[in-house]
Every structure is written in C-alpha cells, then in structure tokens.
Homo-oligomer: A and B are copies of this chain.
Amino acid sequence: MIQTKLIPRTDEAHEPPMLIKSLLAQSLRYEPQREIVYRDLFRMNYVTFNQRVRQLANVLTEAGVKPGDTIAVLDWDSHRYLECFFGITSMGAILHTVNVRLSPAQILFTMNHAEDKVVLIHEDFLPIVNAIKDQLTTVQTYIVLSDKVYSGTPLAEIPAGFSGEYEALLQKALSEFDFPDFDENTWATTFYTTGTTGNPKGVYFSHRQLFMHTMGLLTYIIGYEAMPFKGSSDVYMPITPLFHVHAWGFPFLATMMSAKQVYPGRYEPEVLLRLLITEGVTLSHCVPTILNMLVSSPAAQKYRENLSRWKVLIGGSALTKGLAKAAIDLGITVMSGYGMSETAPVMAVGYLNEQEKQLSASEQLDLRTRAGRISPFVEMRLMDDTGNFVQHDGHSLGEIVARGPWLTQGYFNDPERGATLWQGGWLHTGDVASITPDNWVIIADRTKDVIKTGGEWVSSLDMEDVLSQVEGVAESAVIGLPDDRWGERPHALIVQKPGYTLSAEGIKAVLQAKVNRGELHKWYVPDRIVFVPEIPKTSVGKIDKKRIRSEMKDLILS
C-alpha cells in the first residue's frame, strides 16, 4: 500500500471500532416494539431482546467465559440463536455455529478443532453430544436449550454434567451488561465447511467483516431494491439454517432494521407455511429444494394471496427456470444469490435495473436464475489456468476469484489449505463462470469439472444440459479426460430412456447440426459417447465425476 497522510488525532479524540454491538444498538432506535417470534412458542419485542442478549452475556460470564473463548451452539433456528449471534460476539467471545447435519464424528472433530469451551445444545441434539462427550477435549460447561419451557411443560431434568437450562439461567441473570469496545478485527464467528476430501475446514469472520457484510446487504437488498425490504413493513423469516453461514447474514440486517423476525425452529413444511401465513412473512431465503417443497405443497395454491407478498432469495445451488417459473406463477418474487461459506457468504445477488424491469417475464426469468450481480464492495474477477484475468464478456469462462471486505482470511489451523484458498492474493472459489459487462455472474461449472480443451474451457454442466435435450436421453454425465493434443477432451456417459436405441454417431450428428447452426461451439462435441445403465452418484445424489474419471476412464477410452 502506498504512503499517504493519515488524519492526525487529538489525544482524547474517539473513533469507534465497527462492532456487532453497533448493529444491535440500532435495533432500539427505529421500531423497538417490533417482535421476534419463535414458532408459536415465544415472542418478544426488541427491548426485551436487548435485555435477554445482556442476560446471556451475564450467564456466560458467570460460566467463566472470557473474551477470546469459543462458545458452540447446536440449535434449530430460534430466538435463542439470534441472542447468541449478538450476545456471544459482543462480549468478545467467538460463536461456533455447529452444523448439526454433520456426522457425530465430524461434529466431534469440529468442536475439538474450534476449542469450544461452553456448549449450548437443544435437547433434540443431546444424543449426538452424549455420543461424543467423552472425546470432547476442551469443553468445560454445557447448557441445555429446551422448547418445553415455553409451553409450560417442565423440563424432564437437567442432564448430568450440565450447568443448567437456558431460559432458567437467563431469568436469574441481570439484564444489564456493558459490552466493551475492542479491536474490530476481533474474531466473532466460526463454522466448518466440508469438502470431498480431508477434514472439515474452519472459516471465521471478524466483527468488521460482519458489519461490512451487513452494509453490503443493506446497499443492494434495500438500496438497489434487489429484495425490497422495507423496515416499515417487511417481515423476515430465514429458511436457511442459522448455523449455515449466519443464515446468509440476514439476521444482522433484520435486527439492525428492527424488522419483525420469525424463527421457525426445525424446518417442517407445514410449520413454515403456517408461519408464513399467520405471521405475514414477506422476506426469506432458502435453497431450491426447500422452495420446491413449498411451491409443490398442496397448500400452496390455497395460500396464493399470502404467497404473493413473499420475496425469496435463492442460493446454495442453481435455481432452475422451471422452479423459478412455478414460484412466480404463485405470485412469489424470486431472485438468486451466490456465495459460499468462505465468503460470509454473499458475493452476488440479482437485482434488475430500470431497463431490465421492462423486459418480458421470460427474459426476466433468465436474469432471476443467474447467480446474481457482483455484490457491493466486492471485487470479482475470472481467472484462467495460467493466472491471467479473463474478459467479462458474458461468455468467456474463468474461475471466479474475489476480494472483498468480508472474506475468510484463511482456514483455522490449516495454513496449507488457507494458502491455496488465497493463492496470489485472490480468494479462489473453485467455481467457473462468465460475467457479463453489466456484472451478472453466470455460473458454468466447478473448476474440477470444467473441461480445458485447446485453450478453451467447456462447462460440463452446459454440455449435460445440451445432451439432456436429445430425444431418448434419460441422463448424462460429461467429464474431461487427458488428451495429448488438446490437453483435455470432453467425453459423455449416457443413460437411455427405456424403449430407445441410440447410437453415439446419431447423437454426434444431432450435436454437429447444432454446431452448424452456430448454437454450439465445436469444442463441445464429446470425443466419445458411451452408453451405461447407470451413472455413479455421491451419497447426496450428485453425479460423482471424481469416481467416473478414475474408475470409468478405461471403459470410456477403450
């Protein structure tokens, strides 16, 4: 960085650090009477919320928590979790949002790796913790979270070795706590992301980063009207878990705006839909699977009127046009976003400018299903194999690399993978995309699946999309295999629909016709097309290209 003249400071002059407590302070300034709702179990306004956040800080201080200690939370989406978002971080401790969907062995790994000192556990997850408790090396105190206390049912009993139940502990604690000032680069949150190989990786974010992420959301969710969120009338309900990248950071924004917030606990379609209706929810975010579940629910048609005020940001995986259209037909406003655990997460959210708002519904559909537009304050580039930047022309492909105010600065205690992530001073996403001149990001593939042939990058996903449109093709998988002349060349596995007898030559002829019409680049036509009865899948149902490349290479090239 170049040398400049810094502002001089009078001895006693004060300039505050950017801390999460500043966002919390705002919640009392606009509409403090607004409510935070937990299912049909609990509701409070922001005045009470602020008191409870401080009670939590007192409970934890009493339990021996000091700044720099890590506190693990295993809970469904609740008001308690939101209290942890603000209370744990504002006292200078670190919130570890444990991914309860991991295997017990992975949860054990993450909790020991994060050095959790105190653990807050919803009673639903006691079996998990009981199974690993003996192997947890750093935990000193357990606190149980129970929903029963809100319905008058007494808690069975405090589990052995637990210091108490959350609500009971809060009730006994003082509601005043002076959240201190500290360095804005203080570690605020941590959680783990799993890859296909190796142990889960711990990402982490500072107060400054989460503050800035909130400002980024504010700029385009509200400023650019990506998901017009009116402090004065919108109601927020997350349908991406709070343990998953801070529910995309929206709870920080909603709290700063003192918007009404609804926390749905464990995700059950009928509960989600009921809360949507009864609490008047207008803004959510979720993965396509959840949207699909809600849209295809028989109740959806019945609640058209309520759904028509619902705005949903979709992320996690690609929103298909079919699903987007089904949602729009119900009156739901949908838009896509893009990000990852490493990026806090938002790196792109779609928004339509004046011209785009004039487009037809189907043209808008194309935009709404793109990954989004580059986030405010984020610098995004496309990088080729040799580390050079690729043009933002809307079709040239490159790996998305980014810089910005809210990207994890490494993986905790994993310098090697951290260095790979940040190689050359840019965060490498592992996603291949094109970017249009007006900042729309169009994801093409994962870097490990993209096929590099003759200096061009071919998206295996795009190619599978083309193949799936060929008459008689039930399913396809396209992979790259080494080629002496071109570096790599695409090859396809195809599963035929029953009753069809396709030939490789026939399919190539269809593709060649597309090439002749200029609809397909000639590089895209696979060298070999092999018919298989079944395509290898991972445990979560994704095409297992790694296995195909290693195990089926000989079959393909034979």
Contacts and interface: CB of A to CB of B under 8 A. Distances in A.
Interface size class of A (residues with CB under 8 A): 35 or more
- Which of A6, A33, A204 has its CB near the most chain B CB atoms (within 10 A)? A6
B219 A14 contact: no
A384 interface: no
Stoichiometry, copies per complex: 2
A3 B66 CA distance: 10
Contacts of A222: 218, 222-223
A25 to B, nearest CB: 8
B16 A377 contact: yes
Contact of A7 (B204, B424, B438): B204
A377 B215 CA distance: 12
A232 B423 contact: no
A422 B12 contact: yes
B4 A223 contact: no
A5 to B, nearest CB: 4
- Which of A3, A7, A373, A409 has its CB near the most chain B CB atoms (within 10 A)? A7
Contacts of A374: 29
Interface string A6-39: 1111111111111000100110011111000000
A3 B67 contact: yes
A13 B418 contact: yes
Contacts of A225: 230-232
Contact of A92 (B2, B33, B354, B409): B2
Contact of A186 (B4, B223, B407): B4
B5 A376 contact: no
Contacts of A94: 5
Given A30-B353, A232-B354, A7 B407 contact: no
Interface of A: 1-18, 22, 25-26, 29-33, 67-68, 92, 94, 180-183, 185-187, 204-206, 209, 212, 215, 218-219, 222-225, 230-232, 256-257, 351, 353-355, 357, 373-374, 376-377, 379, 403-405, 407, 409-410, 412, 415, 418-419, 421-427, 438-439
7 contacts: A2-B67, A5-B94, A12-B423, A14-B407, A15-B404, A215-B215, A223-B257
